[in-house]
Amino acid sequence: MAYGALHEVASGGNGAVDGAAAALFIGGIAARTTGKVVWCLTRFDLFFPALAQVGLHPDRVIFVECDKEETVLASFEEALRYGGLGAVVAELVRLPMTASRRLQLAAEKSGTLGLVIRRWRRQTEASDFGMPTAAATRWRISVLPSEPLPVPGVGRVRWLAELMRVRAGEGGEFIIGACDGQGRICLSSDTADRPDQARQSFAVS
């Protein structure tokens, strides 16, 4: 995910589990940046201990709680234009093409990483995710069964990361280990056994 660009992430399903995975995927990416992170939202329901577990500690985050989506978009754009931030995150139901172009230009000008989490209150709203935007990449994150262990217990959480769209490139599917305490993902052993996908996964991560 390039700096100075806009990136979209959504959950692979309509449930809270996949939605949480998408938020943690974003949190891990933001954690690997340097500087403060601005997070714009309308629903203040983030679980801070989970964000800290993927390396994004609350003392790095400036939360901007907005009353409506239009305010989220305006705050997101203003933060992107400000510069000097590690990343700017926005939780949105819809991302119109015109708005996404403005956001992409703002990210390019400041060199800031722009991250959009698409969150829907109703399943009917999810169809908007198929509409074109100016984002450089579009991802969908789903939860998979945890990595099997040779002994009884629960292994590392795994996600299916689907790269739905990438500018001047090809999409793909990647099985990854969930973000660790530094926000880093890892290749799943299932993927690592397949050399062709392993090379793609390293390029993405």
Three-class DSSP category at 3: coil
Task: Using pLDDT thresholds of 50, 70 and 90, give the confidence band for residue 101.
Answer: very high
Give the pLDDT mean for 37-60: 92
pLDDT at 26 over 70: yes
Asked if the model's pLDDT at residue 53 lies above 50, the reply is yes
For residue 38, the model assigns a pLDDT of: 97
Average of pLDDT values for 26-41? 96
Q: What is the pLDDT of residue 188?
A: 60
| Interval 177-197 mean pLDDT | 69
Residue 194 has pLDDT above 60, yes or no: no
Q: Which CATH architecture has domain 5-204?
A: 3-Layer(aba) Sandwich (3.40)
Residue 6 has pLDDT above 50, yes or no: yes
pLDDT of residue 191 exceeding 50, the answer is: no
- 86 vs 61: CA distance, rounded Å: 10
Quick one: average pLDDT of 131-149? Answer: 90
Phi-psi sector, 170: left (phi>0), alpha (psi -120 to 50), beta? beta
Half-sphere exposure of 94 (CA within 13 A, CB side): 13
Q: What ranges do the domains of the chain cover?
A: 5-204
Between residues 125 and 72, which one has the greater pLDDT? 72
